[in-house]
Amino acid sequence: MRKLFTTLAIVAAGLLLIGMGAYIYMRTAMQGFSARAEPSRIEAVLAAYARDTAMPSSAKTLKNPIRLSLDVQHEAMAHFADHCAVCHANNGSGQTMFGKGMYPKPPDLRQSRTQNRTDGEIFSIIENGIRMSGMPAFGGADTADDSWKLVHFIRHLPQLTPAEETQMEVLNPKTPEELQEEKDEEQFLNGGDSSAKTATRRNMKGHSR
Ligand code: HEC
């Protein structure tokens, strides 16, 4: 009797798996694998699970060795504007042209999903990236300090002021056309001083890919 139950349970589990497989296959076949479509709930849950499992558990407890200062905050802000804002936006909302067309999308870094992570987790994500997502790995030979500074800046994002956001816009990467336009404007305005901006850009080191 017991054996019969076990057999029935195995058969039922098998049928369930086949059913789920067929369901996922049908949905994928109907929608294709476009990053434009909103993913199904199953896909989103599996992707989040895979992402969190990929995080080494030792990463969680790492402490930020860089002391927060105005200089550190400013450097990290410039760095974020230059390397991260294309996808994450200056204010961390993720509302950018690139961000909107990706799946998984860059999450709003000001919200609890990110802010509840430990410093070590955020550091590890910046250094190692997130596999099978648009989040690149920025780690290299001596990038640790830069990445820890970015952790400070990500903690600051929920309190970012409009003035800081405007400061960041100046530091966002520009196309050659945009640079030329700016130059023309400056010349037109009879030589506005642009040396401060150039100096900040030059001071940024690391992550220079
Ligand atoms: C090409 C686009 C792109 C760039 C550039 C980029 N990111 Fe991301 N980032 C993403 C995407 C997409 C995700 C979400 C991945 C996921 O959910 O699996 C992400 C996730 C993250 C997360 C995890 C958020 C969370 O709570 O899960 C952090 C932290 C982060 N990025 C920081 C940065 C920093 C700092 C930089 C710059 C040094 C950067 N990113 C540059 C696309 C990008």
In tens, the pLDDT along 17-63 reads: 888 888 767 776 766 667 777 777 887 788 778 777 777 788 889 99
156 lines ligand 1 (CB under 6 A): no
187 has a pLDDT exceeding 80: yes
Could you tell me if residue 84 is inside a domain? yes
Per-residue pLDDT at 208? 46
What percent of the chain clears pLDDT 70, i.e. is strictly above it? 87
Q: What is the pTM of this model?
A: 0.76
Could you tell me if residue 185 is inside a domain? yes
Please, what is the average pLDDT of the chain? 85
Q: How far does the centroid of ligand 1 lie from the alpha carbon of residue 20, in Å?
A: 31
Lowest mean pLDDT among 78-87, 99-108, 178-187: 178-187
Report the distance separating Cα 69 and Cα 120, nearest Å. 19
Per-residue pLDDT at 193? 55
Could you tell me if residue 127 is inside a domain? yes
The ligand 1 atom at the shortest distance from the C-alpha of residue 150 is 35
Per-residue pLDDT at 163? 96
Could you tell me if residue 11 is inside a domain? no
Number of structural domains the chain divides into = 1
Per-residue pLDDT at 164? 96
Could you tell me if residue 44 is inside a domain? no
Could you tell me if residue 101 is inside a domain? yes
Reported as a pLDDT band with limits 50, 70 and 90, residue 191 is low
Report the distance separating Cα 168 and Cα 80, nearest Å. 9
100 has a pLDDT exceeding 70: yes
User: What 8-state DSSP symbol labels residue 96?
Assistant: S
Could you tell me if residue 150 is inside a domain? yes
Could you tell me if residue 27 is inside a domain? no
Q: Which residue range(s) make up the domain with 124?
A: 64-203
Report the distance separating Cα 113 and Cα 110, nearest Å. 8
Reported as a pLDDT band with limits 50, 70 and 90, residue 196 is very low
Nearest CA owner, ligand 1 atom 24: 114
| More confident call, 195 vs 183 | 183
Report the distance separating Cα 174 and Cα 99, nearest Å. 18
Per-residue pLDDT at 33? 66
* Candidate of 88, 90, 114 to mutate for ligand 1, largest count of ligand atoms within 8 Å of Cβ: 88
Reported as a pLDDT band with limits 50, 70 and 90, residue 186 is confident
Task: Give the domain CATH number at 69.
Answer: 1.10.760.10
| More confident call, 30 vs 115 | 115
- Taking the CA atoms of residue 83, residue 87, residue 89 and residue 95 in that order, the dihedral angle to the nearest 10 degrees is 180
Per-residue pLDDT at 204? 47
